[in-house]
Chains A and B, each alone.
Chain A
Amino acid sequence: MNLMQTPVSDTTALKPRITASGVQVYYDTNHALKDVSVNILDRTTTAFIGPSGCGKSTFLRCLNRMNDTVASARVEGKILLDGQDIYDKRVDPVQLRARIGMVFQKPNPFPKSIYDNVAYGPRIHGLARNKAELDEIVETSLRRAALWNEVKDRLSAPGTGLSGGQQQRLCIARAVATGPEVLLMDEPCSALDPIATAQVEALIDELREQYSVVIVTHSMQQAARVSQKTAFFHLGNLVEYGDTQQIFTNPQDPRTESYITGRIG
């Protein structure tokens, strides 16, 4: 793996989409995330890397308030989406999650048809006025997830009958269907084989054209391949955040260097 292949792109001109400042997360008394401040840029893939238990998934789940479902979790600090605090009392997490889509570690399609999997989000959010519009959303989403050609003849087949990589792309199509602005991906390739991984990575690169993509990954190679910005977490701290190329070639913090060279983690 040649780390020098990191896609070079100028991110300085892009606006921040999500601004997190001083985010602290506690699970009961366990201080899981310590004072994290970071800007997630528009139309950029941001990778969160770090050893297991470093808080990268926790932080990801703060961004669309999925931590609300964990009774013991407590979040402090400010996370702004386009300047609005997502932890404000007036924010309905249901609306927020339609704008910040999420793809999970394990492919988790609903045990329904492929069509219904993708159509579910638009249906509950009332995004389509009629069947034709819904059909169009489903097709567009599946195309965007590079799955359309494989499933167009069997949209009524169960989504759980697809292969692992197809299931994960179906989950991406499902997340894309609600028209989110940010797409969060929690180790989306960890259950996939190399070929499926390559497909999903190619997809992430395409999605970046329209969305801000945040990906948590254990694979540094993957981070290097798909992301423009990388954040390194260690023991609940955001150790270093910067351009992916810089993180992998010229890390500023000794811990980052230890991790990417394989000495810790």
Chain B
Amino acid sequence: MTEISQQAEPPVKSLFESDLRTRRRNAAETRFRLYGMAAVAMGIFALIFLLVSVLGNGVSSFRQTSIELQVTLDEAVLDKTGSRDPEVMKKVTTIGYGKILDQALADTLAAHDIDVSALTPKQLSGMKSDEAPRRLRDLVLADPSLVGQTITFHALATSRIDGFEKGRVTMESAKLDSNISVEQLEVAQAMKDKGLLSMPFNWGFFTSADASELRPEAAGVGVAMLGSLYMMLIVLVLSLPIGVAASIYLEELAPQNRWTDIIEVNIANLAAVPAIVYGILALALFINFLGLPQSAPMVGGLVLTLMTLPTIIIATRAALKAVPPSIRDAALGVGASRMQTIFHHVLPLAMPGILTGTILGLARALGESAPLLLIGMVAFVKDYPSAPPAGLMEPASALPVQVYQWTQRADPAFVERASGAIIVLLVFLVAMNATAILLRRRFERRW
């Protein structure tokens, strides 16, 4: 007895000192915590870097420099017959309006005692954008009664002067630039001092179509936004019903056998297929085989639908699975048919999940550019497509493709435009994701 009690005497342990094993476990936990924090910090850093670079480059595209001019709309040039009939006045091209603007520019500068003797007439004319005469012509054709009057007109400045205002162009860079001269910048500086240059909000960025290499100041994302909108409508109208119907069938009605297993695995695989592959599929199927037009939102919408379907099906099936089986039992137990069970009980409960999945799928489709490149949506599109349904078959652009296109151009002014388009795209994506979160919050139910 005594031997046993001596052996069994345990060493006295202090609660205030942790043993080696506990210390190790605590150290492991601390390390893991640090790894996690480091990972989160990296993510936040990347996000901040992205936002700073995009906003830093792109915010300036929302303002555009223009020159305030007193323009005398000479009847002798613009409307020789005096009929004020827009059909007749259309004979005067932008060249005629350009001359009027050149005159107005020279007069305005003279009136403000700005010395332009260092500039050639071509350089003076080059201070304004090539787009300015077209806008003046549109203004006059829309309201022929302006002819004969002297109006205040804000002419777009050329992109180099715009860049000078925004700090992108300097006297040093102008020496190396064939598009702008130091003398022109000096005149621009003088105009700025006299208050002739202003930088109003750039509505044109949202309403204009793309513009050529030579006039980045006129380029906008209007057609791209409309094209993206058309495509999103097509994707929504097609992929939501098809995806939900497929999910309901697979989840609620289909027998569980090898075929449904194969289908299930392949839907998951389809979600992982690279977007460019869908582009090739669309090129072969919709354009070469079915003969649909290139660059059309219809084709873009169809390929994005194919791409979005797996996402929606997977999200919908997960949402249906999350509805507790007791609800199905309850409905079947009171004699509801399978369809009634699904449509009265299961689907409403799964709706927040389905909508969230759909919106996230749409957001992915909105930001997708690769498949659109292959179906010709990378084309330069100057005109708005008409209203649906006809407009769905007319050429349009898309936001991500527009970004891609602008980053390809040589003129640094397009970098600003591309970043501006990215901001627009990001705003749409954030808005869609916020909608998804709101829907989930709004319709989430407990049971």
Interface residues of A (CB under 8 A from B): 64, 66, 69, 71, 94-98, 101-104, 106, 108-111, 120-121, 124-125, 160, 171, 174-175, 177-178
Contacts and interface: CB of A to CB of B under 8 A. Distances in A.
Contacts of B326: 104, 106, 108
Contacts of A174: 330, 334
B331 interface: yes
A111 B349 contact: yes
- B contact face: mostly helix, strand, loop, or mixed: helix
Nearest to A117: B330
Contact of A104 (B330, B335, B345, B447): B330
A20 to B, nearest CB: 19
Contacts of B329: 66, 69, 102, 104, 108
30 contacts: A66-B329, A66-B332, A69-B328, A69-B329, A94-B336, A97-B333, A97-B334, A101-B334, A102-B329, A104-B333, A108-B326, A108-B327, A108-B329, A108-B330, A109-B330, A110-B327, A111-B327, A111-B446, A120-B331, A120-B334, A120-B344, A121-B335, A121-B336, A124-B335, A160-B446, A160-B447, A171-B330, A174-B330, A175-B333, A178-B334
B445 interface: yes
A95 B345 contact: no
Interface string B335-358: 111001000110001000000000
Interface residues of B, number: 22
Interface in B303-341: 324, 326-337, 340
Interface in B275-326: 324, 326
Contact of A94 (B328, B330, B335, B445): B335
Given A120-B344, A160-B446, A160-B447, A110 B331 contact: yes
B255 interface: yes
Contact of B256 (A71, A101, A160): A71
B189 to A, nearest CB: 69
Nearest to B334: A121
B335 A95 contact: yes
A71 B255 CA distance: 7
A175 B332 CA distance: 11
A71 B447 CA distance: 26
A167 to B, nearest CB: 10
A94 B337 contact: yes
A111 B334 contact: no
Nearest to B255: A71
Contacts of B336: 94, 120-121, 124
A110 B345 contact: yes
Contacts of A97: 332-335
A102 B329 CA distance: 9
Contacts of A125: 335
B333 A101 contact: yes
